[in-house]
A and B are shown apart, each in its own frame.
Chain A
Amino acid sequence: MSLWVDKHRPNLLNKLDYHKDQATHLKKLVHGGDFPHLLVYGPSGAGKKTRIMCLLRELYGSGVEKLRIEQHHFTTPSNKKLEISTISSNYHIEVNPSDVGNNDRVVIQELIKNVAQVNQLETSCQKDFKVVVLTEVDRLTKDAQHALRRTMEKYMATCRIILCCNSTSKVIPAIQSRCLGVRVAAPAVEEICKILQNVCKKEGLTLPTELAERIAKKSNRNLRRALLTCEACKVQQYPFSGDQDITEPDWELYLRETAALIVQQQTPKRLLEVRGRLYELLTHCIPPDIIMKGLVQELISNCDGELKIEVVQSAAYYEHRLQMGQKAIYHLEAFVAKFMAIYKRFLEDGIADLF
Chain B
Amino acid sequence: MPRRRKSSDEDKPRKNTIESFFKKSVPKKSRAIIDSDEDDEKPKQKSIDNYFKTPSPKKKSRSEPNNNSHSEKLTPVSAVDFFGSSSVSRKNKTVPAKRKIEEINTELHDDDDFEKTLLQLDVQSKKKVIGNSLASKVSSKMKHIIEDTPEPKEKKPRLQVVVPDTPELKKTHSKKTPDKKLYKMELVKSPSKTPLSQNLSPKKTPEVQSTPDTIKKDSSKKISPSSNSSTSPQDETQVKRGASYRSYLHREGPKALGSKEIPEGADNCLDGLVFVITGVLESLERDEAKSLIEKYSGKVSGSLSKKTDYIVIGRDCGESKLQKVISTMDVLYQSLYNIHVYINSFTIFRPTSPLKEESKMYTTSSSDLSLCPNAKSSSHGRKHCLVMDEVDGMAGNEDRGGLQALVQLIKTTKIPIICMCNDRNHQKMRTLSNYCFDLRFQKPRLEQIKAAMMTMAFKEGLKIPAPALNEIIQSSNHDIRQVIHNISMWTSGDKTISYEQAKKDSQSAKKDLKIGPFDVCRKVFVGGEETAGMTLNDKSDLFFHDYSFAPLFVHENYPHVFPYSASGNPKRHLSLLARTADSICDGDLADRRIRSEQMWSLLPTQAIYASVLPGEFMRGSFPQMVNFPSWLGKNSSQNKTERILQELRTHMRLKVSAEKRSLNMDYLPYLRHGLTEPLVKRDTQGVPDVIRLMDEYDIIKEDFDNILEVTKWPNSKDPMSSLTPSTKAAFTRSYNKEVHLTPYSTGVAVKKRRGAAAVVDEEMMGDGEEAVQDSEEDTDNIDIDTMIKVKKKPTSKAKTTGRSKASKDESASGSKGKGNGKGKGRGKVKS
Contact = CB atoms under 8 A, between A and B. Distances in A.
B755 A341 contact: no
Contacts of A257: 715
Interface in B609-668: 630-631, 634, 637-638, 641-642, 645-646, 650, 653-662, 664-667
Interface stretch (A26-34, A66-74, A144-152, A193-201): A66-74
Interface in A246-302: 247, 249-251, 253-254, 257, 266-269, 271-272, 275, 279-280, 282-287, 290
A38 B662 CA distance: 22
Contacts of B751: 71
Residue among A1, A6, A65, A85 facing the most chain B CB atoms (10 A cut-off): A6
B770 to A, nearest CB: 14
Given A272-B559, A285-B642, A318 B714 contact: no
Interface stretch (B274-282, B782-790, B803-811): B803-811
A269 B623 CA distance: 14
B100 interface: no
B571 A348 contact: yes
A214 to B, nearest CB: 17
Interface stretch (A104-112, A173-181, A204-212, A322-330): A322-330
B599 interface: no
Given A6-B655, A225-B666, A279-B630, A338 B578 contact: yes
A75 to B, nearest CB: 13
A280 B713 contact: yes
A330 B584 contact: yes
Contacts of A333: 555, 581
Given A224-B666, A325-B589, A71 B755 contact: yes
A337 interface: yes
Interface string A65-103: 111111101000000000101010100000010010000
B806 A66 contact: yes
A254 B762 contact: no
Nearest to A287: B661
A334 B752 contact: no
Contacts of A96: 659
Contacts of A228: 666-667, 670
A65 B802 contact: yes
A270 to B, nearest CB: 9
Contacts of A341: 571, 574-575, 577-578
A136 interface: yes
Given A69-B744, A70-B755, A330-B581, A285 B661 contact: yes
Contacts of A160: none
Given A85-B650, A330-B581, A65 B665 contact: no
Interface residues of B, number: 76
A337 B581 contact: yes
A184 to B, nearest CB: 12
B767 to A, nearest CB: 10
A11 B745 CA distance: 27
Contacts of A342: 578
Nearest to B806: A66
A276 B43 CA distance: 84
Nearest to A102: B596
A293 to B, nearest CB: 12
B179 interface: no
B588 A1 contact: no
A275 B646 CA distance: 26
Contacts of B667: 3, 224, 228
Contacts of B713: 250-251, 253-254, 280, 284
Interface in B523-574: 555, 559-560, 570-571, 573-574
A187 interface: no
A326 B595 contact: yes
A33 to B, nearest CB: 27
A66 B802 CA distance: 8
Contacts of A269: 559
A334 B581 contact: yes
Nearest to A232: B670
B574 A344 contact: yes
A92 B654 CA distance: 14
Contacts of A232: 670, 673
Contacts of B670: 3, 228-229, 231-232
Residue among A45, A344, A345 facing the most chain B CB atoms (10 A cut-off): A344
A154 interface: no
B704 interface: no
Place the interface of chain A in its size category: 35 or more
A257 B714 CA distance: 12
A235 interface: yes
A116 interface: no
A285 B638 CA distance: 6
B762 A68 contact: yes
B688 to A, nearest CB: 11
Given A280-B713, A326-B592, A71 B752 contact: yes
Interface stretch (B23-31, B147-155, B312-320, B691-699): B691-699
Contacts of B674: 3, 235
Contacts of B386: none
Contacts of A2: 655, 693, 696-697
B658 A325 contact: no
Contact of A340 (B555, B574, B642, B662): B574
A287 B634 CA distance: 14
A120 interface: no
Nearest to A275: B559
A127 interface: no
A69 B653 CA distance: 8
A225 B759 CA distance: 34
Residue among B559, B560, B575 facing the most chain A CB atoms (10 A cut-off): B559
B752 A62 contact: no
Given A271-B559, A325-B588, A340-B574, A67 B677 contact: no
B229 to A, nearest CB: 72
A326 B664 contact: no
Contacts of B755: 69-71
Contact of A266 (B574, B634, B655, B664): B574
Given A3-B670, A283-B634, A250 B575 contact: no
A59 B806 CA distance: 18
A344 B666 contact: no
B746 to A, nearest CB: 12
Given A330-B588, A345-B575, A279 B555 contact: no
Given A224-B662, A285-B642, A66 B809 contact: yes
Contacts of B357: none
Given A71-B751, A235-B677, A279-B634, A284 B664 contact: yes
A89 B803 CA distance: 11
Given A3-B674, A69-B743, A268-B577, A254 B752 contact: no
A15 interface: no
Given A232-B673, A285-B710, A344-B571, 5 more contacts: A70-B756, A99-B646, A235-B673, A321-B589, A326-B595
15 contacts: A1-B689, A1-B696, A2-B655, A2-B693, A65-B803, A67-B803, A68-B807, A69-B743, A70-B755, A231-B670, A283-B634, A283-B637, A285-B660, A344-B570, A345-B575
6 closest cross-chain pairs (CB), A and B: A66-B806, A49-B657, A334-B581, A249-B669, A341-B578, A71-B755
Interface of A: 1-3, 6, 9, 11, 44-45, 49-50, 53, 62, 65-71, 73, 83, 85, 87, 89, 96, 99, 135-136, 222, 224-225, 228-229, 231-232, 235, 247, 249-251, 253-254, 257, 266-269, 271-272, 275, 279-280, 282-287, 290, 318, 321, 324-327, 329-331, 333-334, 337-338, 340-342, 344-345, 348
Interface of B: 555, 559-560, 570-571, 573-575, 577-578, 580-582, 584-585, 588-589, 591-592, 595, 630-631, 634, 637-638, 641-642, 645-646, 650, 653-662, 664-667, 669-671, 673-674, 677, 689, 692-693, 696-697, 710-711, 713-716, 743-745, 751-752, 755-756, 759, 762, 802-803, 806-807, 809-810
